[in-house]
Amino acid sequence: MQTQFTLSGRVASIGEGFVKGIARIINNEAELDKIQAGDIMVAPQTDINFVPALELCVGLVTEQGGRFCHAAIYSRENDLPCITDVEDALKIIPNGAEITLDTNSNTISLA
C-alpha cells in the first residue's frame, strides 16, 4: 500500500488544469526511454533533450525551476500542466503510481 501525500510547488503552466497519469521518475536524460504516452514526468529539471519524451506526457513535475526555466517555458508553449519547485518530489512520488496533477489548486497527490 502506498502512503498518501499531497505536494505543492510553483504552478508554471495551468494547461488543462487537472490530469491523471502514471508517475515516471526521470533522474536524467538516459532514462527518458521510460516515458510512455499519458505519463506524468517527475524530474529534477528538464532541458531541450527532454522534448521528445515530454511530447508523450500529460503533465510535468520538477524539483527545480521557476517561471523562466525550460520546464515552465515548454509547458506554457504546449499547454502542458506543470508544477515546478516541488521539494523532494523524486523521493516522495512513487515511480509507476497513478497520480493527479491539479494546477488549479497547485497540488500533486495519489489518484
**Active site (catalytic) residues:** 70
Give the DSSP letter of residue 69: S
Contact 107, 6 (CB under 8 A): yes
Between vectors from CA 27 to CA 1 and to CA 89, what angle results, nearest 5°?
Answer: 50
Contact 8, 89 (CB under 8 A): no
